[in-house]
Amino acid sequence: MTTKGPIGVFDSGYGGLTVLKEIVNKLPEYDYIYLGDNARAPYGNRSFDTVYHYTLDCVKWFFKQGCSLVILACNTASAKALRTIQQNDLPIIAPDKRVLGVIRPTAEVIGNFSETKNVGVLATEGTVASESYPMEIAKFFPGLIVHQEACPMWVPLVENGEFDTHGADYFVKKNLHNIFEKGKSIDVILLGCTHYPLLKEKIKEYLPVAVKLISQGEIVAESLANYLQRHPEIESQCSKNGIQQFYTTDSAEDFDNRASMFYGQPVKSVHTGL
């Protein structure tokens, strides 16, 4: 018999905290362990192979901590590593454990928000290049037109606390202009990177009022609640003491200084090597 363990929540850095926050709101009774691979972030502009190897290292780390379920709360890792881990690695290293991402749950609902059937996805270069959003969305909403725009400067702006500065104005305006050039009838903008909710207020300043702005935290939390209900064999392996632990592969002090911005409350993390 396996002992119960926390639910693992992973991101390349801080962004996944925006998702964890919503998950804890929705399902406060479970234990969570968060890992930010800050030492190797950002992932957004790295190759498929690199993102896959980094993500797999982290998934193995979660398994060593006793997790039976790991959420990749990072679009880049979900886009570039999740499928290979699910199909090739899990059957060999941990057939009873599960790794889930954030793209599929988002793709399952995003079409419901659009009247014009034109959706804009803002994401990292890696997520855009993977074509994961257009492919996944097509499975659930075949008639939906998906326009994508890579915003390579947004993660560095957010990670450096520059999300409310004139530098942010410049890049937010530029990328929004580009995506509306690609799809003039877009009426839904999806923040397809877990860092971007920090830029929400800035984005709203430049977004036509009729356009809905969607971030993933609540969608992923809802989907996880649903998953746990449908999978009692995994749910029964998740411990329930309402505890959240935070780990980073870089400096814990730096992590704590920035993390509260994403998590909405103070965070006390521990450094870990993988």
Site residues, ligand DGL (CB under 6 A)? 11-13, 15, 41-44, 74-76, 124, 127, 155, 193-195
DSSP string, 143-178: T-EEEEEE-TTHHHHHHTT-TTSHHHHHHHHHHHHH
Burial (0-12, 13-18, 19+ Cβ within 10 Å), 261: middle
Specify whether 238 is catalytic. no
Report the residue number, 5 or 126, with the smaller CB distance to ligand DGL: 126
Q: Can you read off the two tokens belonging to residue 226?
A: 């649903």
CB of residue 76 to ligand DGL, shortest distance in Å: 4
| Cα distance from N-terminal residue to C-terminal residue, the chain | 26
Q: Is 20 helix (H, G, I), strand (E, B) or coil?
A: helix
CB of 91 to ligand DGL, least distance (A): 26
Which residue number, 45 or 86, has a Cβ lying nearer to ligand DGL?
A: 45
Compute the distance between CA of residue 106 and CA of residue 218 in angstroms, rounded to an integer: 10
Cis peptide before 6 (omega within 30 of 0): no
> Which tokens go with 153?
């400067």
Please give the residue whose beta carbon sits closest to ligand DGL in the complex.
44
User: Shortest gap between Cβ of 50 and ligand DGL (angstroms)?
Assistant: 11
Residue 74 catalytic?
Answer: yes
In the complex, least distance from residue 150 CB atom to ligand DGL, rounded to whole angstroms? 11
- Residue 44 or 105 having the CB closest to ligand DGL: 44
Cβ closer to ligand DGL: 33 or 79?
79
Catalytic residue among 58, 67, 151, 193: 193
**Annotated catalytic sites, by residue?**
74, 193
